[in-house]
Chains A and B, each alone.
Chain A
């Protein structure tokens, strides 16, 4: 018999064969398997919230109870429970029975509240879904990264702690430590009550189980939810006041007349002021508009002029002559505009200091147009300049530095460059404005 034949007998004989193990084997295996864990699918992202909320509610209720029992013991004992209290031990007025009963009512109350919370949380879930569809995957991964980093940096702060912090209601916040302290100071009799520790402990245990090890995805989604809640609270509108010194540059050309292009011309530092409103399209992008008043002054110096006096006929002479005195003067052009900007602001850094990029355009409506001549001895109003368009536009570029004073109040500093497109009819003149806008913005 060859080896090959032998192998074949065994290979074919055993191929695709089965032998059923004896009954009861599965039961033995099942009994050795670890207890079925709480299924993660049954732990939606909002569950930790409910757990934490429930614990808070319970603590708050216990707090109220202890308040009642210490301040007004009658309030607890007026129910038809035999009054077995020792009057002398006024500090510990609650009996075991009373405590049992109140805890039972508490538990019932807690269950009701839990149901209510579930309903609320369902709607929260829907909101979360909407946000999930709205925000792109990159944003999610960005979010995840920043959050992982935050996790790393915040030492020892577990998700559950955070959750509880999120949930802490302002007016309860002060009470919580006192609740915790007040629980152990229950009367000695109460410690024997079997339901006391159970009622106190179980919800917390449950909550800790629920909060335990949420999967990354769930954690992400949960963090996302809380973040988004903050964003929702984050104010979408803001109104800001602004004032800026304005530097007006003509780029060498003379605005008044080309014949003065060789003359020395200066622009005075003037001011712009106004009110701006902004709307947050997203976390990073704002749409802004507003109304600003811009004043610009421009002087051309050493403009020769003749101050002509009415021709006078002198008695002494037969001929009439004109007295005139040519002298240098300063031609002063004052311009004022109402500016309505439409700008986009993209936030580059969104921290305590916010840095953003601003771009857009403004419509300028001519409001003030005055030309005057000044000299040491003489001043004359020359009327309006006729080389200005009533409506013109600028393109704007700049960046913003915002400092968050509070959630609602920011200090803004924005160096802005505004290039005037068609302010002047002589198209070769395209001056620009540079302003450093400062102000405060209120977010709501």
Chain B
């Protein structure tokens, strides 16, 4: 069944079609939720909330853009709203050490490591990094979504990158030690 037909049926709140849609896209969207969440449990909650929103608002999808993109935006917004509710944006300290430079490893990094390093980022850095680097939003859009200024978005991105570099370098150092 093609996606158009599936969406049509979902608009009629056809339960079977809803499940099909879930089975088809839950893997990608769960990864997205993990990226924006502190941990797996939070990602699961976000995924549930996001899918319910998708089914509730599916009538507003006019078929102009990609349906996957539309679902992703709903999922991201759900994740952001969840974090906003936690009101954690204000409680992060800005005290982070300088990062030593290191060489880019040749081997690819495990998905698990990538996800873990993102999840370990303080919330406001994680959000900006995800939105800007992974999901292609501009600083202007991010500023509007997170209720921050564009400048903050840019500086948060810079901090996020520094922290990720540090984490990755640690990861590679540990890896090298293990392999030795």
Interface of A with B (CB < 8 Å)? 1, 3, 5-7, 9-14, 17-22, 25-26, 28-30, 32-34, 36-37, 39-41
Measured between beta carbons, the chain A residues less than 8 angstroms from B30 are 18-21
The reply to whether B26 and A5 form a contact with Cβ atoms under 8 Å apart is no
**CB of A124, distance to nearest CB on chain B (Å):** 25
Measured between beta carbons, the chain A residues less than 8 angstroms from B15 are 30, 33, 36
Interface residue? B144 (CB, 8 A): no
The reply to whether A10 and B13 form a contact with Cβ atoms under 8 Å apart is no
Q: Which of B79-87, B89-97, B145-153, B161-169 contacts A (4 or more CB under 8 A)?
A: B161-169
**CB of A314, distance to nearest CB on chain B (Å):** 117
The reply to whether A1 and B114 form a contact with Cβ atoms under 8 Å apart is no
Query: Of the candidates B12, B48, B101, B111, which one forms a contact with A14 in the assembled complex, judged by CB atoms under 8 Å apart?
Result: B111
The reply to whether B111 and A17 form a contact with Cβ atoms under 8 Å apart is yes
Selected A-B contacts with CB under 8 Å, 18 pairs: A1-B101, A1-B169, A5-B104, A9-B108, A10-B118, A12-B108, A13-B114, A14-B134, A17-B28, A18-B27, A18-B30, A19-B27, A21-B27, A21-B47, A22-B44, A26-B26, A29-B52, A41-B12
Instruction: Give how many A-B residue pairs fall within 8 Å (CB-CB).
Output: 92
The distance in angstroms between the C-alpha atoms of A41 and B11, with both chains bound, is 13
The distance in angstroms between the C-alpha atoms of A424 and B55, with both chains bound, is 82
What secondary structure prevails in chain B residues at the interface with A? helix
Measured between beta carbons, the chain B residues less than 8 angstroms from A10 are 114, 118, 129, 133-134, 164
Closest to A32 in B: B52
Interface residue? B22 (CB, 8 A): yes
**CB of A20, distance to nearest CB on chain B (Å):** 5
The reply to whether B18 and A9 form a contact with Cβ atoms under 8 Å apart is no
Interface of B with A (CB < 8 Å)? 12-15, 18-19, 22-23, 26-28, 30-31, 34-35, 44, 47-48, 51-52, 55, 101-104, 108-109, 111, 114-115, 118, 129, 133-134, 161, 164-165, 168-169
The reply to whether B164 and A20 form a contact with Cβ atoms under 8 Å apart is no
Residue among A3, A21, A22, A41 with most chain B CB within 10 A: A21
Measured between beta carbons, the chain A residues less than 8 angstroms from B161 are 3, 6-7
The distance in angstroms between the C-alpha atoms of A5 and B172, with both chains bound, is 15
Query: Of the candidates B28, B55, B109, which one forms a contact with A9 in the assembled complex, judged by CB atoms under 8 Å apart?
Result: B109
The reply to whether B26 and A9 form a contact with Cβ atoms under 8 Å apart is no
The distance in angstroms between the C-alpha atoms of A7 and B31, with both chains bound, is 17
Measured between beta carbons, the chain B residues less than 8 angstroms from A22 are 44
Query: Of the candidates B44, B55, B133, which one forms a contact with A25 in the assembled complex, judged by CB atoms under 8 Å apart?
Result: B44
Task: Say yes or no: A11-B48 contact (C-beta < 8 A), given A19-B27, A21-B26, A26-B23.
Answer: no
The distance in angstroms between the C-alpha atoms of A17 and B111, with both chains bound, is 8
Task: Say yes or no: A6-B34 contact (C-beta < 8 A), given A13-B111, A20-B26, A37-B13.
Answer: no
The reply to whether B133 and A11 form a contact with Cβ atoms under 8 Å apart is yes
